[in-house]
Structure 1
Amino acid sequence: MDKLDQARSTQERQVNQVRSQPLRGLPALIFASRWLQLPLYLGLIVAQAVYVVLFIQELSHLVPVLWDPNALDNTASALGIVARSKEIVVMLMVLSLIDVVMISNLLIMVIIGGYETFVSRLDLDGHPDQPEWLSHVNANILKVKLATAIIGISSIHLLKTFISAESLSEKTMLWQTLIHLAFILSALSIAWIDRMLSSGSGQQH
């Protein structure tokens, strides 16, 4: 047992020595090239701020609907529907707000998960606000989560389409439904491939 512990400690020391050796030359340049993605993630943070402004604008259009009939008509016209009832208009506006929030969640997943996976560790271990999924995120899990988020966004758009079906053609509704089904099939395929790869790597170990 002592020999086994000594062997493990020796192996750990060797691994730490290899990790402590700095990269030089071309390998160092290639490894440092990952920082070229940093402006992309900073740009997504700016896009997140734009969505916050958009959410506030949408909310400012929703609140006056409660007491202003003109606001109800203007909002219905902006949505491209006939103001059949206040409930329908409010429902569509709320779905638009949910749509903004879900896209914002998608941005957060890409920014945090992508940076952690492809650029540098965030060192959030033990932080009380660390997202639950970040502790076991990798490229495959990130793809599955992104595909699931896209399905959620597509579902909101499809629900808005069915609510305002009177102002849309059957061809438009059919295409949106087919696109939504394509998203679902793509997500299932990604999840299945990830599961097969995970089971294959588990059998090798």
Structure 2
Amino acid sequence: MSDKPTIESKFEQGLFGSRWLMAPMYLGLVVSLAMLVVIFVRELFYYAPQVLTMTADQGILSILTLIDLSLAANLLLIVLFSGYENFVSKLDITSNDRPDWMGKVDFSGLKMKLIASIVAISGIHLLKVFMGLGKPDSAYPVTTETLRWMVIIHLTFVISGVLLALMDWLAAKTDKH
């Protein structure tokens, strides 16, 4: 029997149970994933009929758009599964197709995957803009000022990722208290 007063035990049980308030948010992320699938399919059906008339640059830009969407979907899945398992409840999946990383990505790993995905998405968007530079019919026209800020923001993401990795590395090297 616990030495804690009943009111404290009940409070702690309620506090622990409050993690389930996150469940609707994860359900919302599932809806967001479905939205990304719809956008991906729409983009695919937009570009596919044009494939025979596209220039190489247009083809690369269309493929980068689809890659960008798939990276965003991957990011959603990582946040959805890892967040749910880390903060709400373990997924009781007995299927053999369970990804290896599931159940192994802690909060630190989740941060690293998140920043890596953001850097990749930012890099792809920046590449799409760079490919359109100097082309009058570019789908991504930008001013010098906008381009400067895009590069600064991308570098900020990269530096943030490096600093997060460094902090995690330093934390792993210190003794646990």
Whether the TM-score (by the shorter chain) exceeds 0.5 is yes
Residue in 2 that maps onto 1:120: 89
Unaligned runs of 5+ in 1: 1-16, 70-84
Residue in 1 that maps onto 2:100: 132
* Secondary structure of residue in 2 paired with 1:123: coil
* Secondary structure of residue in 1 paired with 2:101: helix
| Bigger Cα Rg | 1
Residue in 2 that maps onto 1:104: 73
1: CA distance between counterparts of 2:13 and 2:103? 27
1: CA distance between counterparts of 2:62 and 2:44? 8
The sequence identity of aligned pairs, in percent, is: 37
Indicate conservation of the 8 Å contact 2:64/2:124, yes or no.
yes
Q: What do you get for the CA RMSD once the two structures are aligned?
A: 2.0
1:45 alignment partner AA: V
Task: Map 1:59-74; keep pairs closer than 5 Å.
Answer: 59-67=44-52
Normalised TM-score (structure 1) = 0.75
Unaligned runs of 5+ in 2: 3-7, 135-140
1: CA distance between counterparts of 2:99 and 2:51? 37
Which has more helix, going by share of residues?
1
Normalised TM-score (structure 2) = 0.86
Q: Deviations over 1:126-170 (max 9, x none)?
A: 742222222421111111111111111111101001001123222
Say whether residues 1:197 and 2:171 are aligned partners: yes
Task: Map 1:159-198; keep pairs closer than 5 Å.
Answer: 159-166=127-134, 167-198=141-172
